[in-house]
Structure 1
Amino acid sequence: MQTARTRYANRYATRYLTRVIALAVALAILSASGLASAAAAVCASHSPSHRVALVELYSSEGCSSCPPADNWLSQWKNSGATQSIVPLALHVDYWNSLGWTDRFSQHRFTERQQTLTDLSGGHTIYTPEVFVSGRELRSWSQRDSFQSRVGQVVAEPARANVALELKHEAKGAFNVDAQFTSKAADATGSLNAYVAVYQNALNSQVRAGENSGAMLHHERVVRQWIGPVPLVAGNAQIRRDIRIDDADANAPADTFGVVAFVENAATGEVLQVGELAACN
């Protein structure tokens, strides 16, 4: 039989426990709210006040000299606009008839490579080929030469601004909102905006062609390409729902990201680049 003192102690303990639980729930809600806000903040970015170097590698799984270039590009797989180098690997399709079909290849990348080559006065496209901010750099494998080109780009003030928002909807599905502004159009001619969705940590077991028997590892592979979208009165917007429909779409969200840039349509020069990795 409980005494009055025991009943009082039990009531006190129950009230205390109820308050502790309520406080814990409130703190959990506040913490979750704070984490959500932090995650939302990570899913937005703005290009810096200086130019950023867009490094485009044109590659193919059917090319035996491409894996070293792929490995070279991968050193910047976690890079971004704040680090002044934004890499992209664009797989071309003109190797596909020579024994191995590159599952990441797109004809539009072959067309872009040819366009950049034509604008620079060249005639022949090849792999691996590297362009830095729209200009070919044949000596990309020489550290000093590459750093010198990037340094020249970064030393210049930005001539365009890129703002990005990225929302991860589901596996392989994203909502992208890219805003572009520039006052350079009046002086340099028409400008175009582009968005590229890339994926890291991709592997291919090659069973034919020049790389037969090799397991190839890829970073920064462009999976979807949007553009050109002309800047009108110095402004453009690209807002799209992105979905990647293949086995690689089941990869973790943090292996995906978005790159957006402004390009001079007449010269191929990239005026500014923005980048944002996907968030959960």
Structure 2
Amino acid sequence: MRPVRTRHATWHADRYITRAIALAVALTTLFASGVATAAGAVCASHSPSHRVALVELYSSEGCNSCPPADNWLSQWKNSGATQSIVPLALHVDYWNSLGWTDRFSQHRFTERQQTLTDLAGGHTIYTPEVFVSGRELRGWSQRDSFQSRIEELVAEPAQANVALELKPQAKGAFNVDAQFTSKAADASGTLNAYVALYQNALNSQVKAGENNGATLHHERVVRQWIGPVPLVAGHAQIHRDLHIDDADANAPADTFGVVAFVENAATGDVLQVGELAACH
């Protein structure tokens, strides 16, 4: 005997299907827009179809003109790839011999700043200095100048895709899996992949140098840097365990996140950026 399907049962079945379809659409929209989703302790995101601006601020705790730039960058600490601005603060080390050692400084950031400057035909590096997707923007503090540059980038289709997964392990430890796919022609130059682990809500009490006596607040500070990893046949993967080994590693997991991007090594242009905050 065939079971009789009542109107009540049919209504519940239709309602269940409708909800399932709505959920699938919502999840698809989230992934397409680059918004992080959580499945257990694993977060995931995917870069959007348009180009996203990587905003690199080169800064130092030893520089008294840097705190205003640090504050300027912090306004986008929660923006993410969906808003087309992904900020990073890279602390250089060439101020460390002038009275105060910046605990967030790394020589590799000084080298990166010099490389980007050389590629653009420049000679002098300084702080604070801002690069937007690999190109210096001297007018970064002028709203119209910055906004115009962002709008130009966002109007361009992405030439690469970045997919990210991030899983917190222990205090200050994370497992990251980044997949990079290039749409750019190989003739444009070697393409490299990078991953940066950043941290928010950092504070320092400066006891020497130009900022002596000041308490400095930092957002989006790069703590770990991986790359360059060349794309081979249009693809690269960075799968690593990242760990911060200092007092700030005890901060809540949701103060951390990762940024991944594809860069043209010949020009310094950043083709696409992905970002993912740690799940909480």
Q: Structure 2: which amino acid aligns with 1:44? A: A
Per-residue deviation, 1:40: 4.1
Q: Provide the residue aligned with 1:181 in structure 2.
A: 181
Deviations 1:174-212 (A, max 9, x none): 000000000314241110000000000000000000000
Per-residue deviation, 1:279: 1.3
Larger CA Rg, structure 1 vs 2: 1
Q: Structure 1: which amino acid aligns with 2:148? A: S
Residues 1-280 of structure 1 aligned to structure 2 (within 5 Å): 38-40=38-40, 43-280=43-280
Structure with more of its chain in helix, by fraction = 1
Name segments (4+ residues, structure 1) moved above 6 Å: none
Q: Structure 2: which amino acid aligns with 1:52? A: V
- Indicate conservation of the 8 Å contact 2:42/2:166, yes or no: no
**1-side partners of 2:196 and 2:246: how far apart?**
17
Deviations 1:86-134 (A, max 9, x none): 0000000000000000000000000000000000010000000000000
SS of structure 2 residue aligned to 1:96: coil
Deviations 1:190-241 (A, max 9, x none): 1000000000000000000000000000000000000000000000000000
- Indicate conservation of the 8 Å contact 1:52/1:273, yes or no: yes
* Length-normalised TM-score, structure 2: 0.86
- Indicate conservation of the 8 Å contact 2:42/2:168, yes or no: no
* Length-normalised TM-score, structure 1: 0.86
C-alpha RMSD over aligned residues = 1.2
SS of structure 2 residue aligned to 1:43: strand
- Indicate conservation of the 8 Å contact 1:39/1:279, yes or no: no
Per-residue deviation, 1:170: 1.0
Per-residue deviation, 1:151: 0.5
**2-side partners of 1:237 and 1:137: how far apart?**
30
**2-side partners of 1:57 and 1:103: how far apart?**
16
Unaligned runs of 5+ in 1: 1-36
**1-side partners of 2:197 and 2:128: how far apart?**
21
Residues 183 and 38 (structure 1), Cα distance of their counterparts in 2 relative to 1, 3 Å cut: closer
Q: Percent identity?
A: 90
Residues 182 and 197 (structure 1), Cα distance of their counterparts in 2 relative to 1, 3 Å cut: same
**2-side partners of 1:43 and 1:86: how far apart?**
17
Per-residue deviation, 1:276: 0.2
Residues 97 and 41 (structure 1), Cα distance of their counterparts in 2 relative to 1, 3 Å cut: closer
**2-side partners of 1:161 and 1:232: how far apart?**
14
Per-residue deviation, 1:39: 3.8
- Indicate conservation of the 8 Å contact 2:197/2:257, yes or no: yes
Q: Structure 2: which amino acid aligns with 1:107? A: H
Per-residue deviation, 1:48: 0.1
Per-residue deviation, 1:38: 4.4
Unaligned runs of 5+ in 2: 1-36
SS of structure 2 residue aligned to 1:98: coil
| Matched residue count | 244
